[in-house]
């Protein structure tokens, strides 16, 4: 059967089970969009390419399947860059397709030409420029394989216009053969034996679990390990939800805005069991003083992560779920000891707290938690103070329920990501927590939400500032609020109504719960503008580069 490149593109998406793609058309993509017109694949037209890639990211995090996005050449392609970098930093499987000028025009500064493979080389797991239609199907198959195996990540496929119009006799490609690419999933038994000995001998173990636990679906194994060892568990931002937030062994997040008891515990542990986490600088604080008295076990599918930031005594390369399953059979149950007593003392002495009066953002987020805890709710955040309060005050009980930009810290991520989650699960509740600064970075996607009846609920913590930057100016620059006051903010209620969504403004403490309940009952997109106190700060806080024990607040 002879098919054009555009038709092959559609056939390949179907073969990989793609049911939804997020995109924005352009001239070089006309053949692909014409082929999509009759295809049984849902295309969601966002209002900006950045919205498309973040939506694909949210879809991927919620489902565990690769998210797919499509953009035209030149500015369309470059508008994907932030979202691709965001997915790369957080190890999210995305396959991004971009249109390109014809092969003969490559390298000639042609209209809407950009070297997108060169631009994205450092922020993709791999990328391709397809110059011949005969290479298209096998390239797409490789792209999905690379994006989803080993440590997941974004892969970009750039397709010139003439490749989409050329036709060949189409045959489905065979199995993928990539010499040199062979992710290790099974850890060596010798490594596991040494790890088990170290765990069995430890007196003060702590589990430090990251996003790799969520990716591999190892939350049950993580819980078994913690309960067998009676070991406290602290999550990274990306790992939240991998361990029940209401479990007695849970310490919450650690690091810059982690709990005091998590930071004290990791400083005093004699063994850190790091699982699918990467010891980033927001977790470790000052590296020279980080957990000096502890041996370190590091389990990760990516060997490049092991030893990158922190010295490791027991490296284990392998899939987290496979590794923990095998490890559980090698370790001995521990009995209660002074370690658990010490942990409980820290939790009692240093709880998360704030002055609980007025319109505090922590109060609003705690109300969100109270009113959604019994629902199968999915929550996204943008980046800033609201993100840290969400990480601190939400009780996240299940994996793939909390989605946030961890590594890159991308303002503008949360709303379009929520659309991707809602597209994946149309019947579920999806709630995005945002700031007045973050929400305006992709506010145009309100049109997408309304157009496709994606009934996400957005809760804006509106403090009239770029709050986290203002907090640093407050603490370290004598309150010289240079360019962080958001003067000229729009009326978010009217903005929502103008797009066809529902807008609500909440200014009083007693209005918070009724507003949330009303919004959750409305089967349409809702924007809740919570006008909160302007100069509230996120505490605890470890100043950048300080020791984890040197916490403010």
Q: Among all residues, which ones are annotated catalytic?
A: 49, 111-112, 161, 468
Cis peptide preceding 540, ω within 30 of 0: yes
Q: What angle do CA 54, 60, 66 make, to 5 degrees?
A: 110
Which 3-state string (H, E, C) describes 85-148?
A: HHHHHCCCCEEEEEEECCHHHCCCCCCCCCCHHHHHHHHCCEEEECCCHHHHHHHHHHHHHHHH
Angle of helix 320-328 relative to helix 219-229, nearest 10 degrees, comes to: 30
Compute CA 530 distance to the chain's CA centroid, rounded to the nearest angstrom. Answer: 24
In terms of residues, how long is the chain?
553
Interatomic CA distance for residues 356 and 370, integer angstroms: 15
How many Å apart are CA 167 and CA 147, to the nearest integer? 27
Reduced to 3 states, what is the DSSP secondary structure of residue 172? coil
Query: Strands, E, within 30-66: which ranges?
Result: 42-45
Q: Report the alpha-carbon distance of residue 384 to residue 507 in Å, rounded.
A: 21
Helix (H) or strand (E) holding 412: none
Angle value at C-alpha 225, between 250 and 328, nearest 5 degrees: 175
Residues with Cβ within 8 Å of 39's Cβ and at least 6 positions away in sequence, in order, are: 10, 13, 14
What are the start-end ranges of the E strands in 304-348? 314-317
CB atoms within 10 A of CB 333: 9
């Amino acid at each position: 059967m002879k098919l054009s490149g555009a038709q092959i593109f559609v056939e390949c998406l179907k073969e990989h089970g793609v049911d939804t793609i997020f995109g924005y058309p352009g001239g070089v993509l006309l053949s692909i969009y014409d082929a999509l017109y009759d295809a049984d694949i849902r295309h969601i037209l966002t209002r900006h390419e950045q919205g498309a890639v973040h939506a694909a990211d949210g879809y991927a995090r919620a489902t565990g399947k690769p998210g797919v996005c499509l953009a035209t050449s030149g500015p369309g392609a470059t508008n994907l860059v932030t979202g691709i970098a965001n997915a790369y930093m957080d190890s999210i499987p995305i396959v991004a397709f971009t249109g390109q000028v014809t092969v003969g025009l490559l390298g000639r500064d042609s209209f809407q030409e950009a070297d997108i493979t060169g631009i994205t080389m450092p922020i993709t797991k791999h990328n391709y420029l397809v110059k011949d239609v005969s290479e298209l199907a096998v390239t797409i198959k490789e792209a999905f394989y690379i994006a989803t195996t080993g440590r997941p990540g974004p892969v970009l496929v750039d397709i010139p216009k003439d490749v989409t119009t050329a036709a060949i006799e189409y045959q489905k490609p065979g199995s993928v053969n990539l010499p040199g690419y062979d992710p290790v999933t099974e850890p060596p038994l010798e490594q596991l034996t040494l790890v088990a000995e170290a765990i069995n001998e430890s007196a003060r173990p702590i589990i430090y679990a990251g996003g790799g636990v969520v990716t591999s679906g190892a939350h049950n194994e993580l819980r078994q390990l913690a309960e067998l060892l009676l070991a406290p568990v602290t999550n990274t931002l990306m790992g939240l939800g991998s361990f029940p937030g209401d479990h007695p062994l849970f310490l919450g997040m650690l690091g810059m805005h982690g709990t005091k008891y998590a930071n004290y515990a990791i400083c005093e542990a004699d063994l850190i069991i790091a699982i699918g986490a990467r010891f980033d600088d927001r977790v470790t604080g000052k590296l020279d003083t980080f957990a000096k008295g502890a041996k370190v076990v590091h389990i990760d599918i990516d060997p490049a992560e092991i030893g990158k930031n922190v010295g490791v005594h027991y490296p284990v390369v392998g899939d987290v779920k496979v590794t923990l399953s095998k490890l559980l059979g090698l370790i001995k149950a521990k009995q209660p000891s002074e370690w658990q007593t010490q942990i409980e003392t820290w939790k009692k002495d240093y709880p998360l707290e704030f002055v609980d009066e007025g319109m505090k953002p922590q109060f609003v987020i705690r109300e969100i938690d109270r009113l959604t805890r019994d629902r199968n709710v999915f929550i996204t955040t943008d980046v800033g103070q609201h993100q840290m309060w969400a990480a601190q005050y939400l009780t996240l009980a299940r994996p793939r329920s909390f989605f946030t930009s961890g590594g890159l810290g991308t303002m503008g991520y949360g709303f379009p990501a929520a659309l991707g989650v809602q597209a994946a699960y149309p019947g579920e509740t999806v709630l995005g927590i945002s700031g007045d600064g973050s929400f305006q970075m992709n506010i145009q996607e309100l049109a997408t939400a309304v157009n496709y009846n994606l009934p996400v609920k957005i809760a804006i913590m509106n403090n009239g500032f770029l709050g986290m930057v203002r907090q640093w100016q407050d603490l370290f620059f004598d309150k010289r609020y240079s360019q962080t006051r958001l003067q000229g903010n729009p009326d978010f209620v009217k903005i929502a109504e103008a797009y066809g969504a529902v807008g609500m403004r909440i200014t009083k403490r007693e209005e918070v719960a009724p507003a949330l309940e009303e919004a959750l009952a409305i089967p349409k997109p809702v924007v809740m503008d919570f006008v909160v106190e302007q100069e509230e700060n996120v505490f605890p806080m470890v100043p950048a580069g300080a020791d984890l024990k040197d916490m403010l607040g």
